[in-house]
């Protein structure tokens, strides 16, 4: 589905991001994954190469919250591959701090990574995509961008912002043939959820209409669809993959 395409995936070393990288590679894309540390990048690359030594994947670790560093990294990808077809902004952190315990620093941390870094990555990439005649940007939102959550307000606030940026840029960049969408996962079985006690997972699952948490592969499928030509007329969409959790 992605034969010959070049993709960048931020936060591609584990969880949902890692599954997106695997799925893109398995569908013929060349992928550059961005991680936060060289050690975790190397570990992810080793795992991918063990699965298929022919997959064209490499890793970099620019500081995503530094606009200059991310621009330099993206320009390096462009220099090497001569194009960037797909940008996936997946790196993110969540918070569950009650309002009265919040500090300004903690709030800034989630805003810096979950929204400012998304903008920093889009800015140089969109310029490249415009020059090459088009491209596709997919951001990672969350079901809490629709429902909110009862603590850790910085997290839903950042994901509401991701939706705003996605919908607005889809309108602005349509003329440059750049599609901009987001995927809004529900509770997904990444390391964080897998580490919860079985009882907690059961309680969460009981509140989900499909009766279970999502698998990272199921979320990655939505990223594959949106990146592919099957979604050639889809832009400005926030695609929920949440078992109807927010309903
Ligand atoms: P995860 O913690 O397993 O992975 C997060 C990724 O982001 C990792 O690759 C990590 O290296 C990267 N990252 C974190 N901080 C970073 C930093 N400062 N600089 C660079 N990279 C950094 O989480 P996940 O569950 O796979 O989440 C991926 C995305 O999906 C996030 O945007 C998250 O908000 C969103 N999401 C997850 C769930 C869920 O239930 N797992 C639900 C809704 C949305």
Residue 208 inside a domain? The answer is: no
Domain count, the chain: 1
pLDDT in tens, the chain (247 residues): 999 999 999 999 999 999 999 999 999 999 999 999 999 999 999 999 999 999 999 999 999 999 999 999 999 999 999 999 999 999 999 998 999 999 999 999 999 999 999 999 999 999 999 999 999 999 999 999 998 999 999 999 999 999 999 999 999 999 999 999 999 999 999 987 877 778 888 888 899 999 999 999 999 999 999 999 999 999 999 999 999 997 6
Q: Is the CB of 14 under 6 A from ligand 1?
A: yes
Residue 199 lies in a domain: no
Query: What is the reported pLDDT for 10?
Result: 98
How far, rounded to the nearest angstrom, does the alpha carbon of residue 132 sit from its chain's CA centroid? 23
187 lines ligand 1 (CB under 6 A): yes
pLDDT at 126: 98
Q: Quick check: is 155 catalytic?
A: yes
Residue nearest to atom 9 of ligand 1 (CA): 11
pLDDT value for 122:
98
Residue to substitute in 91, 156, 183 for testing ligand 1 pocket (most ligand atoms within 8 angstroms of CB): 91
Examine residue 201 and state whether it is found in any structural domain, yes or no: no
Residue 194: inside a domain:
no
CA distance 55 to 48: 8
What ligand 1 atom has the least distance to the C-alpha of 113? 18
Q: What does the block give as tokens for 22?
A: 């695997």
The pLDDT value recorded for residue 196 is 76
Q: Report CA(221)–ligand 1 centroid distance (Å).
A: 17
174 within domain boundaries:
yes
CATH number of the domain enclosing 86? 3.40.50.720
Question: Which pLDDT score is estimated for 247?
Answer: 66
Q: What is the tens place of the pLDDT at every residue in 139-154?
A: 999 999 998 999 999 9
Asked, for residue 196, whether it belongs to a domain, the answer is no
Distance CA(8)–CA(160), nearest Å, equals: 23
Q: Does 210 reside within a domain?
A: no
Q: What is the DSSP string of the chain?
A: --TT-EEEEETTTSHHHHHHHHHHHHTT-EEEEE-S-HHHHHHHHHHHHHH-TT--EEEE---TT-HHHHHHHHHHHHHHHS---EEEE---------GGG--HHHHHHHHIIIIIHHHHHHHHHHHHHHHHT-EEEEEE--THHHH--SS-THHHHHHHHHHHHHHHHHHHHGGGTEEEEEEEE-SB-SHHHHTS-HHHHHHHHHTSTTSSPBPHHHHHHHHHHHHSGGGTT--S-EEEESTTTT-
Expressed in angstroms and rounded, the spacing between residue 12 Cα and the centre of ligand 1 is 9
Give per-residue pLDDT as tens, 178-188: 999 999 999 99
> In which domain, by residue range, is 81 found?
6-188+216-241
Classify residue 117: in a domain, yes or no. yes
Tell me if 118 CB under 6 Å of ligand 1. Answer: no
| pLDDT at 202 (0 to 100) | 86
């Amino acid at each position: 589905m992605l034969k010959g395409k070049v993709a960048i995936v931020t936060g591609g070393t584990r969880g949902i991001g890692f599954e997106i990288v695997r799925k893109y590679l398995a569908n013929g894309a060349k992928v550059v994954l961005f991680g936060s540390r060289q050690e975790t990048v190397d570990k992810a690359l080793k795992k991918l190469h063990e699965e298929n030594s022919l997959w064209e994947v490499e890793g970099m670790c620019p500081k995503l919250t530094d606009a200059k560093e991310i621009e330099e990294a993206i320009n390096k990808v462009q220099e090497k591959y001569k194009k960037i077809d797909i940008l996936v902004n997946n790196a993110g952190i969540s918070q569950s701090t009650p309002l009265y315990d919040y500090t300004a620093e903690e709030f800034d941390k989630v805003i810096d990574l979950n929204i400012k870094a998304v903008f920093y990555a889009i800015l140089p990439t969109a310029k490249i995509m415009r020059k090459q005649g088009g491209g596709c940007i997919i951001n990672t939102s969350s079901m809490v961008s629709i429902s909110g959550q009862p603590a850790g307000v910085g997290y839903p606030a950042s994901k509401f912002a991701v939706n705003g940026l996605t919908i607005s840029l889809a309108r602005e960049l349509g003329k440059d043939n750049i599609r901009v969408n987001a995927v809004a996962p529900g509770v997904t079985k990444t390391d964080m959820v897998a580490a919860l006690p079985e009882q907690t997972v059961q309680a969460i699952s009981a509140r989900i209409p499909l009766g279970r948490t999502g698998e990272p592969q199921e979320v990655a499928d939505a990223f594959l669809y949106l990146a592919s030509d099957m979604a050639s007329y889809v832009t400005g969409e926030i695609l929920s993959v949440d078992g109807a959790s927010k309903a």
